[in-house]
Structure 1
Amino acid sequence: MHTDVHLQLHALRAADLRTEAARYRLARAAAPAPGGLRGRLGWLLVEVGLRLVHRRPVHLARIA
């Protein structure tokens, strides 16, 4: 592939990515802010789950 064509393809792809990013930013700005009771409850459940997963195992003393 010729270098000029390669450079032109990169420029087109970069323009497409910029357009897509701008559309995403506009969609995020129009969406309602996350949070409220549902969001807080969700994060509380995540925190409780992580605490259950990271609980230290109980080691029983062995009598030999």
Structure 2
Amino acid sequence: MADAYAGLLGAVSDLFRHAAGRMTHVAGTIGHTMAYGFRILLDVLAEASRAGLRHHAVRRE
């Protein structure tokens, strides 16, 4: 009975270790995706700002 219990604990431990590894991988992927999305957002805002400045420069002439 003790061997079965030890085997069950070992299997549960392996399962949690695997799940923790997957969660770390997913968190890394989410972080990478968020960083990429933030970079795109900054590019869009910078381009909108440049377009606004060009628009105001044209209106002043």
TM-score by length of 2: 0.51
SS at match of 2:41: coil
Match of 2:32 among 2, 7, 26: 26
- Give, in whole Å, the separation in 2 of the partners of 1:3 and 1:33: 47
% identity of equivalent residues: 11
Deviation, structure 1 residue 7? 0.3
How does 1:1-64 map onto structure 2 within 5 Å? 2-31=8-37, 32-33=40-41
Q: How many correspondences in the alignment?
A: 35
Q: Which has the higher helix share?
A: 2
- Taking the aligned partners of 2:10 and 2:35, their CA distance within structure 1 comes to 38
Distance 2:35 2:12 in 1: 35
Q: Distance in 2 between matches of 1:33 and 1:12?
A: 35
Question: What is the aligned-residue RMSD (CA, Å)?
Answer: 1.9
Q: Deviations over 1:9-62 (max 9, x none)?
A: 00000000000000000000011337x6xxxxxxxxxxxxxxxxxxxxxxxxxx
Displaced runs of 4+ in structure 1, greater than 3 A?
none
